[in-house]
Chains A and B, each alone.
Chain A
């Protein structure tokens, strides 16, 4: 049974429970059961990624603020922010809010063809991205983009450090 079928079964349980709660087990126990089922299937299925095996790594290229290219290997499922943190990449101030959609410091820029393939952007991400420096039409927040095999070899660019257009002539 695939993950989505398990989820449908979960949904099925919850619908039944609403109409009659006398003979069925409490809803709180059901998620645990289905999780165990899914996990057992994961081990035997070869389509699920095992993060520790190097064949399943994804290459990511970062172009830093000075235009230098830094190439690292990361695991599918990791966000771009996770990668920067785990690999201890030296990007000043990157990820200040630690991936909680409370800042725009993990702003990265994609090439257009890659940008189009990325998952949908939530209102919350868009709200934060609106405040980012050097915003482009292919910008996203690194903490919201999770790596997949299809993103293998992706190149992302950090926006250049720009002093704001309101230059320091003293005026706010």
Chain B
């Protein structure tokens, strides 16, 4: 995720006069989730792109798009060409529910659904069928609340956002009138934050229905001082009671998951993160990680920002103390670019990325996709 690496770059380039940072990104355009994951009706969250752009325009920072690390170039080759490699590639997969019916038509991951209304090229043809009255969303984090809000927002509000045209058309024709946001635990354990809950409750032309039974005993619990600490550990326990919910679509929003990027990078499959000590990848010299692939896929921008600053500081410390071997000159982008060209990769290399480009070049299919409406706000 470019956002995470750009925070690292921020600290980095300020501290050292001769450090060059090359940022490699699989997509042709930068910014990752900030571009494709933030809800279209939250444009202010995307303001952080201005900070990132400033960082990316630093004279010693270079952006290389359309490079799939692990496929087009290996981490081993990157380690050979650079003094240090920082992995900040986020979490692109979804946690699976592990229940029967997960693969049925009409069951989507929230990530795909969000990618669909946000213009992520791989989700363009998702075609969710909104010809049903009820949608069930599993999970109660901010992503679940975003999806619910987009499904039920008045069209006048959506028209003012940079939601993709095809999503706007589908939502205009949508028959969805009820969205059930389902979670395993109680109201005090929801992963969503207050702002998003408040937004949902105040959404024009909608009513928020909550089950009184879910709130039994809550006011007593809230009177205690250590509510937050107590409730983090609350676990869901099966009661044996079953309830059937009729719906036309299920959206699974139970969390993202990082994937291993390269066989030479250690990966802990249980937590789906790269095992590390304060950002230093374990058992490997010269390799660091930051963001979701380091801590797990939770947190808001400030969380990720602070985390990336931490990794950058650790890296700087290693440079100063000699833990990182800087005695040998390394070729950097020169070597990698040569490798990529040999392999026929049409990677996009630009230093000045102030205006996001409207054209996306798909290497495999050799087709040119334009989505000018999506990017016009940047």
Residues of A whose CB lies within 8 Å of any CB of B are 90, 92-93, 96-98, 100-105, 123-124, 126-128, 130-133, 161-164, 166-168, 170-172
Contact = CB atoms under 8 A, between A and B. Distances in A.
Nearest to A100: B44
* Closest 8 A/B residue pairs (Cβ): A172-B296, A100-B44, A127-B195, A102-B44, A96-B48, A98-B47, A127-B194, A102-B45
B69 interface: no
A167 B11 CA distance: 20
Contacts, number: 92
B271 interface: yes
Interface in B265-285: 268, 271, 273, 275-279
Nearest to B282: A170
A97 B307 contact: no
A170 B277 CA distance: 7
9 contacts: A93-B51, A97-B44, A103-B45, A127-B198, A128-B195, A132-B302, A133-B302, A167-B278, A172-B298
B305 interface: yes
Residue among A93, A132, A168 facing the most chain B CB atoms (10 A cut-off): A168
Contacts of A124: 195
A102 B48 CA distance: 10
A34 B242 CA distance: 64
For the residues of B in contact with A, the DSSP-based class is helix
B273 A97 contact: no
B309 A170 contact: no
Contact of A93 (B50, B193, B295, B309): B309
Contacts of B276: 168, 170
A164 B307 contact: yes
B306 A102 contact: no
A129 B220 CA distance: 25
A92 B310 contact: no
Nearest to A169: B277
A105 B45 CA distance: 12
B255 to A, nearest CB: 9
A96 B11 CA distance: 15
B158 interface: no
B273 to A, nearest CB: 6
B68 to A, nearest CB: 26
A131 B50 CA distance: 22
Contacts of B14: 90, 92
Contacts of A104: 300, 302
Given A97-B45, A100-B44, A172 B273 contact: yes
Contacts of B7: 93
Contact of B277 (A96, A127, A168): A168
Contacts of A103: 45, 48, 300-302
Given A103-B300, A170-B268, A172-B271, A92 B11 contact: yes
Nearest to A133: B306
A93 B198 contact: no
A161 to B, nearest CB: 6
Interface in B294-351: 294-298, 300-303, 305-307, 309-310
B195 A172 contact: no
Contacts of B193: 127, 130-131
B51 A96 contact: yes
Contacts of B10: 92-93
Residue among A93, A98, A126 facing the most chain B CB atoms (10 A cut-off): A93
Given A124-B195, A172-B295, 8 more contacts: A90-B14, A96-B305, A97-B45, A100-B44, A104-B302, A133-B302, A164-B295, A170-B271
Contacts of B301: 96-97, 103, 105
B159 interface: no
B363 interface: no
B306 to A, nearest CB: 6
A97 B298 contact: no
